[in-house]
């Protein structure tokens, strides 16, 4: 009878193909798999987790960090980092409330927020692109400066808006979906199209992969970096509007505190490399949702808030370890 058994070399090729295929699937969809696992575990551990009210609460809680994380993703894809987002949020909120109270015009207040946030982002971009300062150092300086100015303007306290309609931005809903969730979705779609469907996005990936090669290929690296940090600042201003509108007030000392850490955590969990050049916007969205589910699950289980930071840190380390294996 003829020998129908595959040759050893063919078996090795099949195993190698399957192994590479599984490796590719894991590298591309590991954050989705992790999200599904955590979601199922949370559903089993707490019956209250699947309540529609709780699901909406999770989305509300992650919307502000999610908007900031979108800008952080773009920066990290370019090979940089931004430690100033939380402090800039507080500064934007304080100046916006001043403009709101002085004019009584919500449109003027929103325009002021966009200008201040974008200006802070562009300053970061100028320091990184033109000043050749490492992004860690440049944004660390901005973090201290922005928080200090916010504290000085507000005398270290909180500022409240005097226009009641301003709170409708974060507290009203459309078809049962709160506005901050809708804003987060819209910003996600906008940044996704910008990064994956435009020349600007391709340039950001090229700079993050190899800045020297990008420069030699004719890419205006300085301009792209200015655009990257300016975009991040604009997204921080959007987050500041939602944050301030939610309570119609802003705290110069506590608002935005440690937001940069949560945003960086979401981006890393989403699969974006710290060295730049690799990552996806959708991955960041799932990273934000994972953090939101973990926070919600720990609250439902009455886990001490002092231990929640430990869990976040552990998740970040595990995510980085898995990134190195793929």
Per-residue pLDDT of the chain (326 residues), as tens digits, is 455 555 556 666 555 555 555 555 555 667 788 888 888 888 888 778 888 888 888 888 899 999 999 999 999 999 899 999 999 999 999 999 999 988 888 899 999 999 999 999 999 999 999 889 999 999 999 999 999 999 999 888 888 877 778 888 888 878 878 889 999 999 999 999 999 989 999 999 999 888 888 888 888 989 999 999 999 999 999 999 999 988 888 888 888 888 888 899 899 888 888 887 788 899 899 999 998 888 888 887 777 777 777 877 777 777 667 655 55
Map out the domains of the chain with their CATH numbers.
56-325 (1.10.3470)
Where does the chain have alpha helices with state H?
8-45, 52-77, 85-103, 106-129, 135-153, 168-171, 179-197, 199-209, 211-216, 221-247, 259-269, 281-300, 305-325
Buried b (16+ CB within 10 A) or exposed e, 218-239: ebebeebbbbbbbbbbbbbbbb
**CA atoms of 186 and 200, how far apart (whole Å):** 19
Q: What is the DSSP code string of 177-201?
A: EEHHHHHHHHHHHHHHHHHHHSHHH
**CA atoms of 260 and 276, how far apart (whole Å):** 17
pTM over 0.85, yes/no: yes
CB 270 within 8 A of CB 280: yes
Kindly give, in sequence order, each residue whose CB lies less than 8 Å from that of residue 225, ignoring residues fewer than 6 positions away. 78, 80, 125, 128, 129, 207
CB 89 within 8 A of CB 235: no
**CA atoms of 236 and 234, how far apart (whole Å):** 5
Buried b (16+ CB within 10 A) or exposed e, 141-159: bbbebbbebbbeebeeebb
Distance of CA 67 to the CA centre of its chain: 6
What does the pLDDT look like over 60-114, one tens digit per residue?
A: 889 999 999 999 999 999 989 999 999 999 999 999 999 998 888 889 999 999 9
pLDDT score, position 238: 94
**CA atoms of 137 and 270, how far apart (whole Å):** 24
Query: Alpha-carbon dihedral of residues 274, 279, 283, 287, nearest 10 degrees?
Result: 0
Helix (H, G, I), strand (E, B) or coil at 91: helix
């Amino acid at each position: 009878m003829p020998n129908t058994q595959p040759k050893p070399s063919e078996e090795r090729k099949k195993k190698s193909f399957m192994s590479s295929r599984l490796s590719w699937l894991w590298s591309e969809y590991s954050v989705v798999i992790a999200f599904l696992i955590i979601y199922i575990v949370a559903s089993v551990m707490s019956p209250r987790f699947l309540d529609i009210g709780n699901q909406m609460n999770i989305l509300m809680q992650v919307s502000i960090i999610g908007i900031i994380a979108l800008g952080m993703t773009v920066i990290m894809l370019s090979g940089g980092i931004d430690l100033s987002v939380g402090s800039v949020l507080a500064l934007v909120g304080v100046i916006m409330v001043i403009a709101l109270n002085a004019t009584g015009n919500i449109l003027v207040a929103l325009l002021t927020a966009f200008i201040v946030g974008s200006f802070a982002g562009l300053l970061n971009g100028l320091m990184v692109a033109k000043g050749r300062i490492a992004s860690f150092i440049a944004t660390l300086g901005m973090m201290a400066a922005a928080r200090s100015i916010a504290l000085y303007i507000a005398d270290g306290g909180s500022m409240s808006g005097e226009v009641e309609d301003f709170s409708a931005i974060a507290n009203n809903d459309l078809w049962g979906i709160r506005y901050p969730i809708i804003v987060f979705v819209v910003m996600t779609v906008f940044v996704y199209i910008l990064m994956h469907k435009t020349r600007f996005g391709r340039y950001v990936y090229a700079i993050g992969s190899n800045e020297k090669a990008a420069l030699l290929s004719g890419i205006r690296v300085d301009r792209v970096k200015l655009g990257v940090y300016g975009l991040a600042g604009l997204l921080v201003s959007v987050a500041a509007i939602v944050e301030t509108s939610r309570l119609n007030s802003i705290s110069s000392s506590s608002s935005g505190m440690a937001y940069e850490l949560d945003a960086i955590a979401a981006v890393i969990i989403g699969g974006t490399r710290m060295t730049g050049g690799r990552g996806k916007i959708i991955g960041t969205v799932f990273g934000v949702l994972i953090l939101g589910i973990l926070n919600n699950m720990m609250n439902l289980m009455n886990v001490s808030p002092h231990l929640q930071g430990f869990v976040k840190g552990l998740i970040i380390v595990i995510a980085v370890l898995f990134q190195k294996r793929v």
